[in-house]
Chain A
């Protein structure tokens, strides 16, 4: 059974039918990307997984457990780290405090310190900023902090929502390098991106979502070569 499995999900925002029978699978150790244009339902998919919006129909399974109706903090506790769109770091907490909140479910102090050291290994910039308030940092630094914070709980899966949004090309490059490195070390990643080209380069498989439906799914290299995808998302 897949690590994460969405079966026939229907999600509504009021009267708007945002996800129309969506099914996705993520296997252990994969990088899977969900690409699509603005408003296609990418963020809604992640929010449905972590219980921020409720599916009206369908089921979400994680590690064999039905998490469809669990509460957000309980879902996170199972090992699902969601790095939300727009980074959403805590602006008035310091970098260190932000990281500590990422490890809220971790009770072992030593493990928290190791996690912080690991975060500094991936993102050396954060070390210089350790006592700075999150809100005073640049967008790139905030994205690094958001990813580092997500890693603090030692998740089984990392879900990234548009990590490249609003960042300079060199920073985008860095973020994708880190995604590759994390995966090489065994992390399962579900990556939501508008930047389809970059996303398909690091991913092993991809889903193309359009107005709440999966219209294509394939190996990443096939999607990259697919003329339909090239025209719609890689132009």
Chain B
């Protein structure tokens, strides 16, 4: 019985893991450049989920969703979700972080936590005014499953994975092959020298927030499509876990965030399915979050630089 559910558990874990991975990229990119944890990133993901879902609900209310190709609807949600969250991320950096760039480390961190609460309440308020409720049930575009005999893969899970892979490949190509991508890495390594090369550091930081936030927003859209129900607080736990994934992979490292996210998603799914039966019911699926954060603590204790990170050398 335990083994027969394994394929399903793995599919669930991968779906979750790819979402963690893409959100983790946003944390790790910003950290790589500013050495700052953008704790509002989870809320950007949440805003993406709401924007995407609202696009769908509004299209539905106007009657234009019926007869629309679901793939076109999905692309529309993703594009609008990414544009809004990308702009939001850039705006937050400009208003809440840039003025604090030379302040002590803790100050922008507090600012980020403030932005988090602000976004949660702003979304809650807007939804409550517009719809009398602050959670949304999203129409699901893809309801079919692909039956493989030993497991059935929901189409929506497959879509999460495929789009996440496309975004990860695109980001990798951008960072390694394009002029602005290389400039981004240069700024991460040495801001002062990068500016001597005529690189506008502020512009590169803006670009980092634009890309990281729009990836986070797109993941929010996918999340809403995969799980159906969203509320203004979904960004908190998911954000923390994506951050855990980034630390697990080595914060500041793109490949680390991708691998860390997938590992965390798989482990969490396995823990959720098997912890109960294996401990005779003492620790059930409700402990899967404990499991995820225990991993964070263990990584911090034994390999603080993460799987792909480099041990920090003392600067002379």
Contact = CB atoms under 8 A, between A and B. Distances in A.
Nearest to B188: A92
Interface in A83-103: 84, 88-93, 97, 100-102
A119 B59 CA distance: 58
A38 interface: no
A82 interface: yes
A82 B199 CA distance: 13
Contacts of B182: 93, 97, 100-101
- Number of chain A interface residues as a range: 20 to 34
A76 B54 CA distance: 46
B186 A149 contact: no
Interface string A43-68: 00000001010000000000000000
Interface stretch (B34-42, B111-119, B190-198, B297-305): B190-198
A111 interface: no
A72 B197 CA distance: 9
Contact of B196 (A84, A93, A97, A100): A84
A202 interface: no
Contacts, number: 63
A76 B198 contact: yes
A69 interface: no
B188 to A, nearest CB: 8
B199 A101 contact: yes
Interface in B153-184: 179, 182-183
Contact of A104 (B183, B189, B190): B183
Contact of A105 (B190, B192, B198): B198
B197 A102 contact: yes
Given A101-B199, A104-B179, A52 B192 contact: yes
Contact of B199 (A81, A104, A149): A104
A203 interface: no
Residue among B179, B189, B193 facing the most chain A CB atoms (10 A cut-off):
B193
A185 B183 CA distance: 30
Nearest to B203: A73
Interface in B192-242: 192-201
A77 interface: yes
A93 B179 contact: no
B185 interface: yes
A52 B191 CA distance: 11
20 contacts: A52-B195, A73-B195, A73-B197, A73-B198, A73-B200, A73-B201, A76-B198, A81-B196, A82-B196, A90-B189, A90-B193, A91-B189, A92-B185, A93-B182, A93-B186, A101-B183, A101-B199, A104-B198, A153-B197, A153-B198
Interface of A: 50, 52, 71-73, 76-77, 81-82, 84, 88-93, 97, 100-102, 104-105, 149, 153
Given A93-B186, A104-B198, 9 more contacts: A72-B196, A77-B198, A84-B193, A92-B185, A92-B189, A93-B185, A97-B185, A101-B197, A149-B197
